[in-house]
């Protein structure tokens, strides 16, 4: 007796399984891409009030670009220590 041929998945069943598989893999790929982007996002440098003041002084023309860069590098170097 081979009655199992009579209880197979119909055409709509195959369509539903195929659509479900495509949606499943689309979801997996989307999650992987979003996770990859989130982990490779560069860390943002937070500006300090001193940097904002320097930027404003440059914009007002109080200091030139060379002076701005020199002072900005001094700020990023950290505090000076006295021996």
Say whether 74 sits in a helix, a strand or coil.
helix
In this prediction, residue 25 carries a pLDDT of 97
Which residues lie closer than 8 Å to 50 by C-beta, 6 or more apart? 75
Query: How far apart are alpha carbons 54 and 69 in whole angstroms?
Result: 9
Q: Give Cα 21 to chain centroid, integer Å.
A: 28
Instruction: Give pTM, 2 decimals.
Output: 0.44
The ranges of the chain with pLDDT < 70 are 1-9, 43-45, 80-83
- What is the reported pLDDT for 4? 55
């Amino acid at each position: 007796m081979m009655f199992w041929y009579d209880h197979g998945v119909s055409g709509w069943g195959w369509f539903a399984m195929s659509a479900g598989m495509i949606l499943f893999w689309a979801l997996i790929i989307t999650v992987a891409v979003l996770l990859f982007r989130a982990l490779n996002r560069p860390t943002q440098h937070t500006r300090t009030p001193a940097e904002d003041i320097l930027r404003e002084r440059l914009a007002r023309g109080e200091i030139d670009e060379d002076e701005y860069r020199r002072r900005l590098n001094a700020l990023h170097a950290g505090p000076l220590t006295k021996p």
